[in-house]
Amino acid sequence: MQSSDAVQRTPRNFASVETWVFDLDNTLYPHHLLWQQVDDRIRQYVSDFLRITAEEAFKVQKDYYKRYGTTMRGLMTEHGVDPDDYLEFVHKIDHSPLEANPALGAAIESLPGRKLILTNGTRKHADAVMKKLEIDRHFEDVFDIAAANLDPKPLPQVYHRFLAKHGVDAKKAAMFEDLARNLEVPHALGMTTVLVVPDQTREVLREVWENSGRDAPHVDHVTEDLAGFLRDNCVNAR
């Protein structure tokens, strides 16, 4: 007879999934292709706004990111930063390193049901990424940081707002994310959860906590190849 812990850790499957929800950065593409630009601009913004050195700004940036979900939320809470000014500055990057991903596009197109993006970034950034990857036509909508009233994942209200706005039944949805902590609430709500850890993640300097959680009970599946995982596990799941 299985223990209660074993039962709780049995991965959910995709048989009843009708809505496919994807994070953006480091989920639909490897973060190293753009992240250094964004990371540098966040640090520059923190340094300029608080009038501190780049080294001090780095510490503030990572501290706020861990404690508040985004550096922006920390700056808003503790220093009253203008979110529009911040978002415009940090997302002014060159998206040219991204290339079309026909394999991912084909896998997403074949998924049965709706496809949505839930990101802590902006719609403008999401649109630019999807256009470069040539997957924009496959998604119904983008729920960005503005739609979330500037609250970031993993705050519970973000997911509740998302589900309500798009009329999504959490028990018939799957969530794909690169941070395990951002899957805890979706799993509690009934979603099937997938932790995406692109092989190139090691090329990005990440905090220890960002790379943890593979074995957490709220993570149903882990993959280093999103397109392959969708093709092999989700397209013909029913």
Instruction: Output Rg (C-alpha) for the chain, integer angstroms.
Output: 18
Q: Is 193 helix (H, G, I), strand (E, B) or coil?
A: strand
| E strand or H helix at 192 | strand 192-196
Last residue of a domain, one of 72, 90, 108: 90
Q: How many CA atoms lie within 13 A of 8 on its CB side?
A: 9
Same domain, 10 and 69: no
Tens digits of residue pLDDT in 4-36: 444 456 899 999 999 999 999 989 998 777 888
Last residue of a domain, one of 51, 71, 90: 90
How far apart are the C-alpha atoms of 77 and 64, rounded to whole Å? 10
* CATH number of the domain to which 151 belongs: 3.40.50.1000
Q: Looking at per-residue confidence, does 212 or 126 come out higher?
A: 126
> Would the pTM of this model clear 0.85, i.e. be above it?
yes
| More confident call, 207 vs 111 | 111
Does the structure show a pLDDT above 90 at 116?
yes
Task: Mark whether 213 and 143 lie in a shared domain.
Answer: yes
What is the CATH classification number for the domain harbouring 79?
1.10.150.450
- Domain identity same for 66 and 152: no
Q: Are residues 51 and 166 in the same domain?
A: no
Same domain, 160 and 187: yes
pLDDT surpasses 90 at 166? yes
**Cβ–Cβ < 8 Å for 104, 226:** yes
Which position has the higher pLDDT, 214 or 64?
A: 64
Q: What pLDDT score was predicted for residue 207?
A: 54
Rounded Cα–Cα distance for residues 228 and 133 (Å): 16
pLDDT value at residue 7: 44
Give the count of domains, the chain.
Answer: 2
Helices (H), the chain: 4-8, 35-50, 54-68, 71-79, 83-90, 102-110, 123-133, 156-166, 184-189, 226-229
Same domain? For 26 and 61 the reply is no
Name the token pair of 74.
């920390």
The verdict on 24 and 141 lying in the same domain is: yes
Residues 145, 227, single domain; the answer is yes
Residue-level pLDDT at 114: 98
- Where among 90, 106, 137 does a domain terminate? 90
On whether both 8 and 114 belong to a single domain, the answer is yes
In terms of residue numbers, what domain contains 109? 4-32+98-234
> Are both 104 and 129 inside the same structural domain?
yes
Is residue 23 domain-shared with residue 48, that is, in the same domain? no
**144 in the same domain as 209:** yes
Residue 5 pLDDT: 43
Tell me what the mean pLDDT of segment 223-234 comes to: 94
Cα–Cα distance, 179 to 209 (Å, whole number): 9
